[in-house]
Amino acid sequence: MRNKIFLGAGMLAVMFLFGCEKEQIISKNDLPQPAKDFISTHFAGVGIASVEKESDILEKTYDVILSNGTSLDFNEDGACTEIDGHTDKIPDSVVPTKILEYVQTNYAADFITSWEKDDSQQDIELASKLELKFGQESNFLQLEN
């Protein structure tokens, strides 16, 4: 019985150690090449202030803060999954064309401050704090205030 308790406790300790998310500051040179290419293409002339790699048992992600304050998230392959300009406009070139056209047509006086993509949808936030949801094919789904 005592061996089973120690075995169970040992298994829990191993799961805890390997299941915890680990964060570490890394060099911008350690970013995946597609992430570096994305930044140089869409944020030319903007420096990288910090890069943090987050690892857990399932995946690695990279959180990048640019010198202008913009936050970028990349998956382990270097594909961008989130851009947050906070209150600043994010570059039109990072937003899928269909979404950009929808915003320009329906919210011409507004601009996009953040974009996020997950497995099922894309979300944007406008400077007016309106949140718009789009499907994977960039079709408008709903408005949230």
Sequence spans of domains, the chain = 22-144
So what's the pLDDT on residue 30?
94
Residues with Cβ within 8 Å of residue 62, at least 6 apart in sequence = 26, 31, 32, 35, 51, 52, 53, 54, 73, 74, 75, 76, 78
So what's the pLDDT on residue 22?
87
- The C-alpha atoms of residue 138 and residue 130 are separated, in whole angstroms, by 17
So what's the pLDDT on residue 12?
43
User: pLDDT class for 57, splitting at 50, 70, 90?
Assistant: confident
Which of 26-30, 81-85, 106-110, 113-117 has the weakest average pLDDT? Answer: 26-30
CA 96 to chain centre: 15
Start-to-end CA distance of the chain, whole Å, equals 57
Residues with Cβ within 8 Å of residue 82, at least 6 apart in sequence = 71, 72, 73, 114, 115, 116, 117
Q: Which two tokens stand for residue 12?
A: 């829990």
Is the confidence at residue 126, as pLDDT, over 50?
yes
Owner of token pair 């269909």: 98
Q: What class does CATH assign to 22-144?
A: alpha beta
User: Mean pLDDT score of the chain, rounded to an integer?
Assistant: 89
User: pLDDT class for 124, splitting at 50, 70, 90?
Assistant: very high
User: pLDDT class for 23, splitting at 50, 70, 90?
Assistant: confident
